[in-house]
Amino acid sequence: MTDVSYLPATAPPPKAGPHGLPPSAAGSAATRSAAGETRANAAPAATTPTLEDPTGGRRSRGTRLSAPGWIRRLTGPAVLFAVWWAVTGTGLVGGRVLASPLAVARAFGDLAGDGELWNNLSVSLVRVGWGVLFGVAAGLVLAVLAGFFRAGEHIVDSSMNFLRTIPIIALLPLIIVWIGIGESAKIFLISAGVVFPVYMNTFAGIRGVDVKLVEAGRTFGLGRLGLIRRVIIPGALPGFLIGLRWSLGVAWLLLVFAEQVNTDRGIGYLLTSAQGWNRTDIIILCLVIYGLLGLLCDGIVRVLEGSLLSWRRGFSGT
Amino acid sequence: MATRLQRYLSPPAPTSAQDEAGQAAGPTGLASLTGHTGPAGPAGGDTDGVAVRVRGLRRSFGERVVLDGLDLTIAAGEFVALLGRSGSGKSTLLRILGGFDTGIEGDVLAATRRSVVFQEARLLPWTRALGNVTLGLPGKDVAARGRVALAEVGLADRERAWPVTLSGGEAQRVALARALVREPDLVMLDEPFGALDALTRIRMHALLQELCRRHRPAVLFVTHDVDEAILLADRVLVLADGRLSLDVPVGVASPRLRSDPAFAVLRSRLLAELGVDDVAEGAR
Ligand SMILES: Nc1ncnc2c1ncn2[C@@H]1O[C@H](COP(=O)(O)OP(=O)(O)OP(=O)(O)O)[C@@H](O)[C@H]1O
Ligand SMILES: [Mg+2]
């Protein structure tokens, strides 16, 4: 409410400096009115804001028709498959360079029919299984030692960081000298590769547990074991799962290397011999099998994450 | 007071048997947080009916001295509010009484059965609301006791909620339930209601008073809100320059009304002590 009617129409407009109040402000009604007038003049009119829908039209409808998650996750591979089919089907790429899906399917039928594929696959799976098991166990033990105990950190962490920089493949000659070329050497190689991602991520997970939560746990009567079980392990779990997923990738990679050294069974062996026979259909078949196994492992870790980390409500992409 | 003190290493003993409800806590078990004196109480100091006894407490972070020769005694069952400007060391004092801070000088004794409501709720994110309330709770019927405590703070229907899905106020109420379910001799609250809306705040005041009336724990209540301190406390302390610059009983007759002249007098006094211009504050 600004009463300006007392001002003669000819009165000069009040000065609108940065501090537009007249210095003589003594609290009289007139001065206050003048001050109000000044402010009214000095303040720019409110601009009309532009309005927008804050969601930008990205409304999530509860009842939106959508395929289950695993179908949506298969979209990418399906697109790849379609491109492959198109490229080989139109004769853009010759069959000797890249076998067509049909040829690969035929190779699959042949190899599956006489049981050779299943033999090789099971041998590879057993190698990866043991390798991951030993590697994850060792990585966890080391991470717990380094994470919980000062002395453990000094001894373990620096060694692990040093060893981590050595390319695992470069260990192969040494492994052959140590434990020969048998199954144990292959499992050892895979374990050695799996240890590091599990160790690094679990250690970081343990150290990332909020000390305030540890304090709170202690206040409410948790002992050392209770703290580990209720606070530290759940807190380190996200890190461990990242390490696990990463380590499964490493395991398949190392399997290929391990199975190229003096083997007569395994997917890697099949791959190497197919190269010798110039059979791109079998080579592609092996690659597809690797891909599917990778996808399977990813799915397993995903399911684990879903059930173990249901308490999280993280950003899940737009 | 430059004694080299032993460190407080063992975690606080878990609260065990429940008190007879409605009875004022008797001689409180005091734990020495410095290991300087036995839990039976220091020689020459009468600790009967005392929940907190601090003598010459000093805490510094590098050059910066936060607590400097602080003395404080809280009787069993007494409700004490602690005021102080931001950064004056209120949370530091609570951390020391909680047993988390070992870099201290001076004698500190606090009830063995104590619990804390932190400035932030500090719920375990991977544990549901009920599990957070019963965390580390010994004895039988733990879940049932937890449910009762959750119901008391008005969250009976949220026992299976994950902490990330709770609002700030709800999380703080879970934290309050977690502290009270242990029926402690000493409850320390660090600005527990700062995040609550005004209506919930009033309900929480009533709830806290009700629970204190029933179980009679000693309470150390840290707040920024002078009115809240006067409404709830038997005694108000002001922390400034590392010690208690003011320690006054609240002589306002209950029910305490803001319109009571005694209320206004105490309010002005506390605000002046905190360095707030009462008139400007009142004109708001
Ligand atoms: N671990 C620490 N290291 C260094 N300085 C610290 C540490 N903890 C607290 N301080 C300092 O001690 C002082 C008191 O902190 P404190 O948290 O006790 O304040 P407060 O009274 O609780 O303040 P507020 O009301 O804002 O919560 C602050 O200046 C803070 O910076
Ligand atoms: Mg604080």
Q: How confident is the model at residue B234 (pLDDT cuts 50, 70, 90)?
A: very high
pLDDT at residue B219 tops 70: yes
Q: How confident is the model at residue A135 (pLDDT cuts 50, 70, 90)?
A: very high
Residue nearest to atom 9 of ligand 1 (CA): B92
Q: How confident is the model at residue B43 (pLDDT cuts 50, 70, 90)?
A: very low
- Is this prediction's ipTM beyond 0.85? no
Nearest to B204 by CA among B220, B189, B186: B189
Residue A170, pLDDT score: 84
Tokens of A66: 């959508």
In Å, how far is A300's CA from the nearest CA of chain B?
21
| Mutation target vs A (from B33, B126, B142; most A CBs, 10 A cutoff) | B126
Find chain A residues with C-beta within 8 A of B118's C-beta: 212, 216
A301 three-class SS? helix
Pocket test of ligand 1: the residue of B88, B96, B193 to mutate, having most ligand atoms within 8 Å of its CB, is B88
**Least confident piece of the model among A76-80, A137-141, B60-64, B127-131:** A76-80
Of B2 and A259, more confident: A259
Q: Does residue B89 have its Cβ closer than 6 Å to ligand 1?
A: yes
Pocket test of ligand 1: the residue of B58, B59, B61 to mutate, having most ligand atoms within 8 Å of its CB, is B61
Name residues whose C-beta falls within 8 Å of residue A185's C-beta, 6 or more positions apart in sequence. A175, A176, A178, A179, A258, A261
Q: How confident is the model at residue B204 (pLDDT cuts 50, 70, 90)?
A: confident
Q: What is the distance in angstroms between the CA of the first residue and the CA of the last residue of chain A?
A: 49
A233 touches chain B (CB under 8 A): no
Q: How far is CA B29 from the centre of its chain?
A: 17
Residue A219, pLDDT score: 85
**Secondary element (H or E) of residue A118:** helix A116-148
pLDDT at residue B98 tops 80: yes
Do the beta carbons of residue B16 and residue B184 sit within 8 Å?
no
Q: pTM here? A: 0.70
The strand order across the sheet containing B30-32 reads B30-32, B105-111, B50-61, B64-75
Other beta carbons within 10 Å of A199: 30
Domain A97-306 homologous superfamily, CATH:
MetI-like (1.10.3720.10)
Distance, CA B86 to ligand 2 centroid (Å)? Answer: 7
> Which residue in B has a C-alpha nearest to residue A215's C-alpha?
B100
Residue B71, pLDDT score: 93
Q: How confident is the model at residue A12 (pLDDT cuts 50, 70, 90)?
A: very low
Domains of chain B: 2-15+24-113+183-278 (3.40.50.300)
**Least confident piece of the model among A12-26, A215-229, A245-259, B227-241:** A12-26
Tokens of B252: 């306002």
Q: Does residue B92 have its Cβ closer than 6 Å to ligand 1?
A: yes
Find chain B residues with C-beta within 8 A of A312's C-beta: 125, 164
pLDDT in tens, A225-241: 899 889 998 999 999 99
